[in-house]
Amino acid sequence: MKLSPAEQARFVALAKNITERPVYQTLKSFTQHGSVTTYRHSLHVALCAFRLNIRLHVRADERELVEACLLHDFYLYDWHTKGDKLHGYHHPKIAAERARRYFAVPDRVASAIQTHMWPLTLFHVPRNRTAWLLAAADKICAVQETLDRGRNRRSGPFFTGFGRPGPLGAVKSVENDGKWNRKNG
């Protein structure tokens, strides 16, 4: 599941359009699962979906896919302290609204964000390839991040391949920090 250098370069170029915006950097201050920040979780999901798209020949639009994945939890608060008991159900709609407001995402991206928690959101079913990839990648990464809780590993979700030479290089380029640890989100 390694990305080729050309695939990595495409991923980094697409991701930077989002991650370099100051408002996006605020996701580094919110915890998602275990010791993983929302920023890091969103990168995991984006890279996992990007790889699945290539390896499974899903043929989703890469720009749309990376945008939807990076913004799928863009609700801009820490759900541990500010979310209500139905956060899991409500946050896709909030994230979609904020993605529209701050990044002017098109309808297909907003729709993918809004359906990423399916089947929890029973009637909001993924409606296109991007949405299905996002929903699958989010669950894969959430499980892995939760299992890694407290272990402070340098490697990330096995499915994304963080911690291994290829994809880690891509993430380093996006984040410009170069290290996998809590401080760097």
Q: Does 67 bind Fe ion (CB under 5 A)?
A: no
Identity of the residue, 9 or 23, whose beta carbon is nearer to Fe ion in the bound complex = 23
- Identify whether the C-beta of residue 125 lies closer than 8 Å to the C-beta of residue 115: yes
Going from the C-alpha of 145 to that of each of 8, 9, 37, 79, 155, the distances in angstroms are: 22, 25, 10, 16, 10
Cα–Cα distance, 183 to 93 (Å, whole number): 29
Query: Nearest distance from residue 6's CB to Fe ion, in Å?
Result: 27
Query: Nearest distance from residue 183's CB to Fe ion, in Å?
Result: 21
Site map 94..133 versus Fe ion, x via CB under 5 A:
----------------------------------------
Identity of the residue, 53 or 121, whose beta carbon is nearer to Fe ion in the bound complex = 121
Identity of the residue, 2 or 101, whose beta carbon is nearer to Fe ion in the bound complex = 101
Cα–Cα distance, 185 to 181 (Å, whole number): 7
Cα–Cα distance, 96 to 139 (Å, whole number): 18
**Which residue in 62, 64, 67, 73 binds Fe ion (CB under 5 A)?**
73
Q: Does 145 bind Fe ion (CB under 5 A)?
A: no
Q: Does 138 bind Fe ion (CB under 5 A)?
A: yes
Identity of the residue, 67 or 73, whose beta carbon is nearer to Fe ion in the bound complex = 73
The one-letter amino acid at 25: Q
55-93 burial string, b = 16+ CB within 10 Å, else e? eeeeebebebbbbbbbbbbbbbeebeeeeeeeeeebbbb
Query: Nearest distance from residue 150's CB to Fe ion, in Å?
Result: 20
Question: Under the rule (CB under 5 A), what is the footprint of Fe ion?
Answer: 73, 138
